Amino acid sequence: MTNVAVIGLGIMGLPMAKNLVKAGHQVTGYNRSQEKVDKLVAEGGKGAASVAEAVKDADVVITMVPDSPDVEAVVTGDDGVFANAREGALWIDFSTIRPDVAVQLAESARKAGLKPLDAPVSGGEAGAIDGVLSIMVGGEAADFDSASEVFDAVGKTIVHVGPAGSGQTVKAANQLIVAANIQALSEAVVFLEAYGVDTAAALKVLGGGLAGSKVLDQKGQKMLDRSFEPGFRLKLHHKDLNIVTSAAREAGVTIPLGAVVAQLVGSMVNQGDGDLDHSGLFKLVEQLSGRDND
């Protein structure tokens, strides 16, 4: 049994914390809204009134917050993770942030006596609930090995991809692929509907061939139903695509498709649709095709 502190009990963090409780770990959670903490307590976890309180006795500290500034806010400062976690504790950041920030924070964590791993996840809310997330991990190999029980409680495909920052780099590539897939699937559905095809049947057969993907399996029906309750919000994918395009420029890599999709996602956010599921990109394809009132 491991004492685990979870900072950030949102759409992803709360189900991950619950799965850690189910796996037999002692889990203490902190979140800015008390409601989420209460939900963890109802599942057998404990609540804390501050980051400092949550991490003081933890063997493993987990952060799962939206963006780079949010991670920096909870780990730095007198009340943060670095100043209050015990020496030798593992710090696993499951957030999706900029790779360069992940490297900088890993260096600061090591100076504070912690063992840092950047471990962004893929699989959305459903994957978090079912405990089958894909986890791409950057950091020291020995630290990765020592975190296996925690990773096994929340994920299925867990791979050490390199030194600090590598997990975030792989996650950026993941978000590029997912966004392009969602855009292509949106265009395909609008195209099929324009010809009066049985779209449910069409997606079934497409899913069995080379066009099949987890994006088609998980997002196709949402598009057919025009049901875009968030599993992963467009505004977060917008943030992730900004990470991708910025990192690509720094590396001198050209990603024309990624740049276009980033602009399309950004336009959805600017129109006020940032809280929709990222499959809501379908709405923009309908709009551009003049079919949004059909």
Question: Which ranges in the chain belong to alpha helices (H)?
Answer: 13-22, 34-42, 51-55, 68-75, 81-84, 99-111, 124-130, 141-146, 148-154, 166-194, 199-207, 214-225, 234-251, 256-270, 281-288
Note the pLDDT of residue 292. 84
Residue holding tokens 């770990």?
A: 25
Contact criterion met (CB below 8 Å) for 15 and 125: yes
Note the pLDDT of residue 107. 98
Choices 3.40.50.720, 3.20.20.70, 3.30.365.10, 3.40.50.10490: CATH for 3-163? 3.40.50.720
Tokens of 15: 């189900």
Note the pLDDT of residue 188. 98
Domain with CATH 3.40.50.720 in the chain: 3-163
In sequence order, the β-bridge partners of residue 91 are 61, 116
The interaxial angle of helices 166-194 and 281-288, nearest 10 deg, is 40
Note the pLDDT of residue 102. 97
Domain with CATH 1.10.1040.10 in the chain: 170-288
- If one counts every other C-beta atom within 10 angstroms of the C-beta of residue 275, the result is 14
Note the pLDDT of residue 48. 98
Pseudo-torsion of CA 135, 138, 139, 142, nearest 10°?
Answer: 40
Note the pLDDT of residue 214. 92
Measure the CA–CA gap between 144 and 98, rounded to whole angstroms: 20
Catalytic residues: 171
Query: Is the pTM of the predicted complex or chain greater than 0.85?
Result: yes
Report the chain (294 residues): mean pLDDT per 10 consecutive residues.
93 97 98 96 98 97 97 97 97 96 98 98 93 98 97 98 98 97 98 97 98 96 96 94 95 96 98 97 97 77
3-state secondary structure of 100: helix
Q: Which CATH homologous superfamily contains domain 170-288?
A: N-(1-d-carboxylethyl)-l-norvaline Dehydrogenase; domain 2 (1.10.1040.10)
